[in-house]
């Protein structure tokens, strides 16, 4: 998790118009309608020039922003339910099939939480498949916020939650226009970030209230479901994108890391997909690796103010699990980089 390189990139501030005024309820509706309109008529690929794929990073950012209009997406809240409905609708517009897994999770403290995993499938008839995973919930607490009095309130989760979903909706738009070379499953998992992360990661009793959706999916999926490989996409919207090779991924599915980083290199994205390795990060890939599936984590854990690095222990610079995780920290350019890699992986795939 300790980063060394600081990419020398300009700080890109996306359009803030909707979010800045979205506290006003009627305008929140407007922000949703704007996103709905965009969802119905995504921009033509290649606008702005220099696009490497048909993925549209600008749309991905708008889809990330649209979720913030629902507020925090903490399981059991209205915002959570509305955001889940919104994802289902966006996927029904784009994917070949959409399956919704619903269940009630009982926390360690005995609380009952409504949960939903959403699985959007492209070319479901194919046995050769790639599984992409992102979490759509947001954390109920701001554990690392510099303001101790504000730590009990839920975070907005622009990067930690909304960025991965924004990526997936824009990816689904591209896959609808051009069907992939293999079957693609986009899995939106719930409850990744609800409770406390405890060590060891293998202790599923202590870690009962995190990775809830991925643990449930792995527990209930058919034994016959064996995707060729999988990737978790998490916190990939940071305007200062720096993705290291995550420890559990390198140990558990090194050939998938090689494949993903190889595609990034071919696209000219070495400065964002870095060759250094971080320590293991507890994320949604862990239950899949434990089950024997080849799933890695693509995550930019170094989420620091103004692109700094190694800020995890510094509340004045860290954005992760704080109220500073807002839309102005994201950029369409970063989402474009990650989207290009994600789309290329499934459109130019030839053999294992
Ligand atoms: Zn988180």
The CATH number given to whatever domain includes residue 78 is 3.40.630.10
Q: What is the pLDDT of residues 289-311, one digit of tens each?
A: 999 999 999 999 999 998 888 88
Using CA atoms, how far apart are residues 237 and 158, in angstroms rounded to an integer?
8
Six-digit token string for 228:
């060729």
Residue 12 in domain: no
Six-digit token string for 316:
């004045």
DSSP 44: P
Ligand 1 centroid–CA 161 distance in Å is 7
Ligand 1 centroid–CA 76 distance in Å is 17
**Residues near 157 by beta carbon (within 8 Å), at least 6 away in sequence:** 72, 73, 138, 139, 193, 325
Residue 352 in domain: no
Ligand 1 centroid–CA 301 distance in Å is 9
Ligand 1 centroid–CA 233 distance in Å is 12
Ligand 1 centroid–CA 349 distance in Å is 31
Sign of CA dihedral 332, 334, 338, 343: positive
Nearest Cα neighbor of 233 from 113, 314, 346, 315 is 346
Distances (CA, A) of 290 to 105, 203, 218, 227, 260: 21, 12, 9, 15, 20
Using CA atoms, how far apart are residues 140 and 285, in angstroms rounded to an integer?
21
**Residues near 229 by beta carbon (within 8 Å), at least 6 away in sequence:** 130, 131, 253, 255, 256, 259, 294, 295, 296
Ligand 1 centroid–CA 73 distance in Å is 12
Q: What is the pLDDT of residues 89-129, one digit of tens each?
A: 999 999 999 999 999 999 999 999 999 999 999 999 999 99
Residue 3 in domain: no
Ligand 1 centroid–CA 128 distance in Å is 31
Residue 327 in domain: yes
Residue 193 in domain: yes
Ligand 1 centroid–CA 210 distance in Å is 10
> For the chain, what is the total number of helices (H) and then of strands (E)?
10, 8
Ligand 1 centroid–CA 322 distance in Å is 10
Ligand 1 centroid–CA 206 distance in Å is 17
Kind and range of the H or E element at 238?
A: none
Q: pLDDT tens string for the chain (352 positions)?
A: 222 232 333 333 333 233 322 333 333 444 444 444 444 334 333 334 567 999 999 999 999 999 999 999 999 999 999 999 999 999 999 999 999 999 999 999 999 999 999 999 999 999 999 999 999 999 999 999 999 999 999 999 999 999 999 999 999 999 999 999 999 999 999 999 999 998 888 888 889 999 999 999 999 999 999 999 999 999 999 999 999 999 999 999 999 999 999 999 999 999 999 999 999 999 999 999 999 999 999 999 999 998 888 888 888 899 999 999 999 999 999 999 999 999 999 998 654 4
Ligand 1 centroid–CA 85 distance in Å is 21
Residue 105 in domain: yes
Ligand 1 centroid–CA 311 distance in Å is 15
Residue 334 in domain: yes
How many domains does the chain divide into?
A: 1
pLDDT for 342 equals 98
pLDDT for 307 equals 85
pLDDT for 205 equals 85
pLDDT for 349 equals 63
Ligand 1 centroid–CA 138 distance in Å is 7
pLDDT for 336 equals 98
Ligand 1 centroid–CA 61 distance in Å is 19
pLDDT for 200 equals 85
Residue 68's domain comprises 17-347
Q: Does residue 123 come out as left (phi exceeding 0), alpha (psi in the -120 to 50 range) or beta? A: left
Give residue for tokens 């369409």: 332
Ligand 1 centroid–CA 283 distance in Å is 9
Ligand 1 centroid–CA 193 distance in Å is 5
Residue 25 in domain: yes
Using CA atoms, how far apart are residues 12 and 224, in angstroms rounded to an integer?
44
**135 close to 192: Cβ distance less than 8 angstroms:** yes
């Amino acid at each position: 998790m300790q980063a060394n390189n600081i990419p020398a990139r300009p700080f890109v501030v996306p359009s803030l118009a909707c979010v800045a005024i979205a506290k006003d309820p009627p305008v929140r509706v407007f922000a949703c309608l704007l996103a709905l309109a965009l969802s119905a008529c995504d921009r033509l690929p290649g606008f702005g020039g220099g696009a490497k794929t048909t993925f549209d990073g600008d749309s991905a950012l708008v889809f990330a922003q649209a979720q913030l209009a629902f507020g925090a997406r903490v399981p059991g809240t209205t915002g959570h339910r509305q955001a889940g409905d919104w994802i289902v609708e966006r996927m029904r517009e784009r994917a070949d099939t959409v399956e919704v897994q619903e269940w009630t999770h009982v926390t360690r403290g005995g609380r009952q939480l409504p949960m939903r995993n959403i699985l959007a499938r492209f070319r479901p008839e194919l046995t050769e498949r790639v599984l992409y995973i992102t979490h759509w919930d947001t954390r109920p607490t701001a554990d690392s916020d510099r303001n101790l009095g504000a730590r009990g309130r839920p975070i907005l989760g622009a990067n930690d939650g909304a960025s991965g979903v924004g990526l997936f909706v824009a990816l689904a738009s591209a896959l609808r226009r051009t069907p992939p070379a293999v079957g693609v499953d986009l899995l939106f998992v719930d409850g990744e970030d609800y409770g406390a992360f405890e060590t060891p990661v293998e202790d599923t009793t202590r870690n009962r209230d995190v990775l809830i959706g991925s643990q449930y999916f792995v527990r209930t999926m058919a034994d016959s479901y064996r995707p060729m490989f999988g990737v978790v996409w998490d916190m990939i919207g940071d305007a200062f994108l720096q993705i290291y090779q995550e420890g559990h991924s390198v140990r558990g599915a090194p050939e998938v890391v090689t494949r993903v980083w190889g595609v990034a290199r071919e696209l000219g994205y070495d400065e964002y997909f870095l060759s250094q390795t971080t320590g293991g990060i507890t994320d949604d890939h862990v239950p899949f690796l434990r089950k024997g599936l080849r799933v890695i984590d693509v995550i930019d854990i170094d989420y620091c103010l103004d692109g700094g690095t190694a800020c995890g222990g510094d509340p004045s610079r860290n954005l992760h699990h704080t109220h500073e995780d807002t839309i102005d920290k994201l950029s369409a350019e970063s989402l474009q980089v990650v989207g290009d890699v994600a789309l290329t992986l499934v459109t130019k795939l030839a053999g294992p």
